[in-house]
Amino acid sequence: MKINKITVGCDHAGYALKLKVIEHLKERGIEVIDVGTDSLDSCDYPAFASAVCKNIQNGITELGILICGTGIGMSMAANKHRGIRAAACSDTFSARLTRMHNDANVLCFGERVVGMGLAMDLVDQFIDTEFEGGKHQRRVDMITAIEKNESSAE
């Protein structure tokens, strides 16, 4: 599955890196929907996490990228949205495996944690890796059941 369009968002702590990620994605021929923020002014990350997640929920894009100081706050906020499987990653192995095994649809990382080169590698691993399905689908289905307040282990 080739990814053609991605929604990207950040807070003030991820703004500079977001600009580089968008440039990188465009160089790869991927259309980017930028939901902000658009400055270094202090702002609240949950609003931008919600904007990215809503685009995925509404089928506007299949994947999203969220950048804050650490990636942790963004992933916590994103995972509150139905159908979102967000992963905070700071190594390429995790970025690849979260797509392959968890069918993650949002990559989160922190500008204060990863450098520019690693950030681009995380993005590439995330968007170039496909979900394996198989036994992993059963586990993703269990996550979905938890989300729907159904039995999580049966």
| DSSP H helical ranges for 32-150 | 45-57, 72-78, 92-102, 116-128, 135-147
Give pLDDT, residue 151: 53
Q: Which residues of the chain have pLDDT under 50?
A: 152
Task: Give the bridge partners for 33, in sequence order.
Answer: 7
Q: Which domain holds residue 56?
A: 5-147
Question: For the chain, how many structural domains are there in total?
Answer: 1
Q: Per the domain annotation, does 33 fall within a domain?
A: yes
User: For position 40, what pLDDT does the model report?
Assistant: 95
Angle (CA) 130-50-94 rounded to 5° is 35
What digits encode the pLDDT tens for the residues 57-102? 999 999 999 999 999 999 999 999 999 999 999 999 999 999 999 9
3 state DSSP class of 117: helix
Residue 153 lies in a domain: no
In angstroms, the CA 86 to CA 40 distance is: 24
pTM: 0.94
Residues that are catalytic: 68, 101
Q: Is residue 154 included in any domain, yes or no?
A: no
Residue 107 lies in a domain: yes
Q: Per the omega criterion (within 30 degrees of 0), is the bond before 144 cis?
A: no
pLDDT at 58: 98
- Asked whether residue 50 is assigned to any structural domain, the reply reads yes
CATH number at residue 74: 3.40.1400.10
Q: Give a yes or no: residue 14 inside a domain.
A: yes
Please check whether residue 46 lies inside any domain of the structure: yes
Q: Is 115 exposed, middle or buried (0-12, 13-18, 19+ CB in 10 A)?
A: exposed
Query: What confidence score (pLDDT) does residue 149 get?
Result: 82
pLDDT at site 150? 62
Asked whether residue 72 is domain-assigned, the answer is: yes
CA–CA dist 71, 110 (Å, integer) = 4
